[in-house]
Structure 1
């Protein structure tokens, strides 16, 4: 009987030392943004919990080179049986990015301090990286084929209007150095293009005609 009573007293003493405080946020579905300076840590406690604790950030995947990191050195526990919260910031400014982060509520900042409560594992991501990637993809897919427009050259004189149109995609002529196949020549209505040889013949005939009357 004496041994049983001693065992029961020891067990009761151990149970009384166990903290009932619980971290309610962050949870496994929580994602913090590295670009947001202040993040919220929430907890719920009972009257037998310590009146204050230390809030620390730890990581189980190697994303913190100096784990654990103390976020709040002396946080008041607050009222019992209700959800209390506090805003925490990272000491160097921007939050680290990675997975498997946890919040620990510690009895003190000493190396041998007890863990009063621990959050579920959560992630911290970079803000805006996905939007930038999506914007880059949209810009890449928007580019289309390049359209080459045809060039047009007009030559105007007092007697004759000649329009030469050629496609810019076919700039080379045939083997004899002539006009490319794609070129076209047009003239105004009622006007004829007189070959140079015909003009010479008419001029000689007119000179001969004048010689008759000389």
Structure 2
């Protein structure tokens, strides 16, 4: 009888529940395009979970929450235009949303991110615009008032006064 219970425990351990089948080891993702996360599941898995994209190439790990809630029975999730720096050590993690089965449910093999997506913004003169990098750009229609602000940041109160006086004469 003891041999049967050991065999049953070994079989149960071999039957994995929620498993991420894509991305696979050494896959390459261009995050400016659509990439598909795929998984298999069994009936006893939680019905919903959270998906995270994790860069393990840095310490501490950089974690991006991809979705607040994915449905287990869907078996896949299309991911598109995610801003994340390229690296060779990314994984996808599934985290339980259930109080009875909490914690990490599954983690993918390590894969590569070759290109970041682009954050879309409607930047104005002097405000940051995201293109995967943290940069500041000014629009071609920047006026002398924004020049006065820039001079003011450099020279204090005297800067904008000098610009206004220069415009008058």
What TM-score does the superposition give when structure 2 sets the normalisation length?
A: 0.52
1:25 aligns with 2:22: yes
**What residue in structure 1 maps to residue 110 of structure 2?**
121
> 1:68 is matched with which residue?
63
Residue 65 of structure 1 and its aligned partner are, at CA, apart by: 7.3
- The residue matched to 2:45 in structure 1 has which SS? coil
Hey, what does 2:121 align to over in structure 1?
none
Aligned length: 107
Larger RCO (alpha carbons 8 Å, 6+ apart)? 2
SS of 1:68's partner is strand
Kept after mapping to 1: 8 A contact 2:56/2:62: no
- What TM-score do you get using the length of structure 1 for normalisation? 0.42
| Equivalent in the alignment of 1:89 | 80
Unmatched runs of 5 consecutive residues or more in structure 1: 1-7, 128-214
CA distance in 1, matches of 2:65, 2:98: 8
| 8 A contact 2:24–2:111 mirrored in 1 | yes
Q: CA deviation at 1:34?
A: 3.5
What is the distance in 1 between the residues matched to 2:84 and 2:43? 33
Aligned with 2:70: secondary structure?
Answer: strand
CA deviations over 1:164-207 (Å, ceiling 9, x no partner): xxxxxxxxxxxxxxxxxxxxxxxxxxxxxxxxxxxxxxxxxxxx
Matches within 5 A, 1:4-153: 20-36=17-33, 38-62=34-58, 67-78=62-73, 84-89=75-80, 93-108=82-97, 113-126=102-115
The DSSP-based 3-state class of the residue aligned with 2:73 is coil
1:19–1:116: 8 Å Cα contact kept in structure 2? no
Q: Deviations over 1:99-152 (max 9, x none)?
A: 110000110399xx511010000001138xxxxxxxxxxxxxxxxxxxxxxxxx
Q: Is the 8 A contact 1:26 1:119 kept in 2?
A: yes
Q: What RMSD, in angstroms, separates the aligned Cα atoms of the two structures?
A: 3.2
**Residues 73 and 105 of structure 1, relative CA distance in 2, 3 Å threshold:** same
